[in-house]
Amino acid sequence: MGIITRSIANNIVTGGKLDGTDGLSGVISASNIENASLTNITALSSSLGDAIESVSTDPVSPSEGQLWYNTTIGVLKGYQLNAAAWASGGNLGTTRSNMGAAGTQTAGLAFGGGPGAAPYFSAVTEEYDGSTWSPSGNMNTARYVMAGFGTQTAAVGAGGYRSAPPRFTTATEKYDGSTWTNSGNLSTGRDVLAGAGTQTAGLAFGGEPGAGPGITTATEEFNGSTWSPGGNLNTARYALVGAGTQTAALAFMGALPTLTAATESYDGTTWTSVNSLNTTRSSGAGAGIQTSTIAFGGFIGPPSPKTGSTELWNGTSWTTTTPMTTVRSGLGGAGTQTAGLGFGGDLAVSNTNATEEFTGAFLSVKKVTTS
């Protein structure tokens, strides 16, 4: 604990105020004062000098809440924390829910899904450039509730539910930025499963095989051409979400069939149960890496079944942040924890083509002005 090294204790009076009759003089090193010791000070003697530093150039690495006066331009500035926020992006060209998703906020990919009306199964692919969605090559197998992962120019769509038997498909396709190509099939045909990783090192886990048992813990690893068994999830579930890589993945939310907030981390061999989400749900979306993930949207059940709740994972726990503007489930998710993308989804009575972009909280230099 830091201490005040000068003999000035007799100058601090009731209420944490400094005695104005003799005050303080000289300079006390900041390293000798604990932050907590200043919380009750309500007045300072004028002998302390200016509380705001005057500088000719802005500090290179200011601290949150720091104020300074830039003498070169005659402006009072501060370093403030800007709140996390969702903002509207360009609408999908095809309204749908439960699609595959991959990529980033400025290079996103949406594929397949359920349009909500005949023919019910979509093969449509669209690419996002940060403002507009554009059509690209269709998938070979129209389907929804599949696993999707990778990038806009190197994505994978695996499993899902399709129109013709076997409805719970093992089909796997790879995307090269324009065309989908059939690849090695999953060992277990299933839908409402999750995915993570890259086109050459991917994961598929959980889901509903359609034949007993009704929900699976199975994990499969993809090497770019074939699938092989991985370590099983601890909690069997479907309608879950995945993030991260093949050797450092995160699985969260889902249905057992009761809804769950369970979160698990994967090290390439074993799944480990970690702290749960704050909002229990299924059929949401997410993005990021194992130690820095965002979860948003989903189904929470009656009386208001859809949610826009957004949570951030720091590798240890989930923290609630600014919710989505459009409350929905069955949406697509891409990007990172600080630059996320949510698109499409189910509004309960209809599907939506709405896209939202997430910007995480950030610090920035601001001019101090009068209102």
Instruction: Indicate whether 18 pLDDT > 80.
Output: no
* CA-based nearest residue to 151, from 250, 86, 245: 245
Neighbours of 16 (CB within 10 A): 13
- The confidence score (pLDDT) of residue 44 equals 45
Strands (E), 240-291: 241-244, 249-252, 263-266, 271-274, 285-289
Check: CB of residue 188 under 8 Å from CB of residue 181: no
Q: What's the token pair of residue 25?
A: 């003089």
Could you identify the residue written with the tokens 């045909």? Answer: 189
Phi, psi of 219 (to 5 degrees): -120, 135
Instruction: Indicate whether 252 pLDDT > 60.
Output: yes
Instruction: Indicate whether 47 pLDDT > 50.
Output: no
Query: Mean pLDDT over residues 330-352, rounded?
Result: 96
Identify the band that residue 276 occupies on the pLDDT scale cut at 50, 70 and 90.
Answer: very high
Distance CA 291, CA 281 (A): 21
Q: What's the token pair of residue 33?
A: 């004062």
DSSP-based helix, strand, coil % in the chain, nearest 5: 5, 40, 55
* Domains located in the chain, CATH noted: 9-83 (no CATH), 85-359 (2.120.10.80)
Mean pLDDT of the chain, nearest integer: 88
Instruction: Indicate whether 36 pLDDT > 60.
Output: no
Check: CB of residue 359 under 8 Å from CB of residue 339: yes
**Per-residue pLDDT tens digits for 52-89:** 888 888 888 787 778 878 888 878 777 777 789 999 99
- The confidence score (pLDDT) of residue 38 equals 44
Distance CA 125, CA 180 (A): 10
Q: What's the token pair of residue 265?
A: 């981390």
Phi, psi of 15 (to 5 degrees): 85, 5
Q: What's the token pair of residue 22?
A: 């003799």
Query: Mean pLDDT over residues 341-354, rounded?
Result: 96
Distance CA 311, CA 370 (A): 34
The DSSP element (H or E) to which 10 belongs, if any, is none
Could you identify the residue written with the tokens 């503007």? Answer: 325
**Per-residue pLDDT tens digits for 134-189:** 999 999 999 999 999 999 999 999 999 999 999 999 999 999 999 999 999 999 99
Tell whether pTM > 0.85: no
Query: Mean pLDDT over residues 12-28, rounded?
Result: 53
Query: Mean pLDDT over residues 223-245, rounded?
Result: 98
What would you measure as the largest C-alpha separation in the chain, in angstroms?
Answer: 89
Residue 53, beta-bridge partner list: 68
Check: CB of residue 53 under 8 Å from CB of residue 63: no
